[in-house]
Amino acid sequence: MTMIAKKTSGVKPGAYDSTIVGVYDLGLQYSEKFKSESPKCLLLFELVSDSEMPSTIHKFYTLTLSEKGKLRPDIEILLGRKLSPDEDKGFAMRKLLGLKAHLQIIDDDGKSKIASIIKIPANKPVPVSLPLIFFDMDAGRPIPQATPEYVTKIIKRSTEFKKGWPPQVQEEDNGPEPEDTDENGFALDGSELEPY
């Protein structure tokens, strides 16, 4: 038999139930095509499959609720409703974490691609084995350790990261210690206090 190399897709084309296990802020990403930068985000879906290892697929978005964008229609599909007037002013992306979706995946020139998303009823069980991760660059926290390596690499390409993100968080000054404790926070009478 002859050995033949072919383009392969990470996930076989087909229909999958899934759960959103990651909502990632990718920061400002530069586009060579448009010669500009824009805020991007990524949704990571864990797929229900026969594989022993968890299978995932992701979808990139420009972080905008514009009617022309791809994010808004997908949010509305996942919620099963139109955005409320308050959500229309600014949608908390954290609300997507843990939502279930039925995905149609196609092979797009050797790469797996989400062709469509359909909301799954909340009462339908969809097993999840990966941790749920929400990452917002504005929070100033480090990239979670369970973040896939390719997502970490994308975040590190962001304008914010190149400019020294994450910001150094300064500790708050809580003022002097209460007089009834020593410099370690212990009561002067020898009994232990709760740590601050």
Give me the pLDDT at residue 21, please.
97
- Report whether 69 contacts 91 (CB < 8 A): no
As a whole number of angstroms, the distance between CA 129 and CA 2 comes to: 39
* Structural Rg of the chain based on CA atoms: 22
Q: pLDDT under 50 in the chain at which residues?
A: 1, 5-8, 169-178, 184-185, 187-196
pLDDT at 180: 53
What is the CA 58 to chain-centroid distance, rounded?
10
Residues 10-22: tens digit of each pLDDT: 789 999 999 999 9
pLDDT for the residue 193: 41
Q: From CA 17, how far away is CA 47, in angstroms rounded?
A: 6
State pTM to two decimals: 0.79
- Asked whether 40 and 63 are in contact (CB, 8 A), the reply is yes
Three-class DSSP category at 71: helix
- Strand locations in the chain (E): 14-31, 36-47, 55-62, 100-108, 111-119, 133-135
The string of DSSP letters for 141-189 reads PPPPTTS-HHHHHHHHTSHHHHTTPSPPPPPP---SPPTTB-TTS-BTT
Whether the CB-CB separation of 21 and 56 falls below 8 Å is answered with yes
Residues recorded for the chain: 196
Each domain of the chain, given as residue ranges in start order, spans: 14-162
Could you read off the pLDDT of 53-82 as tens digits, one per residue?
Answer: 889 999 999 999 998 999 999 999 999 999
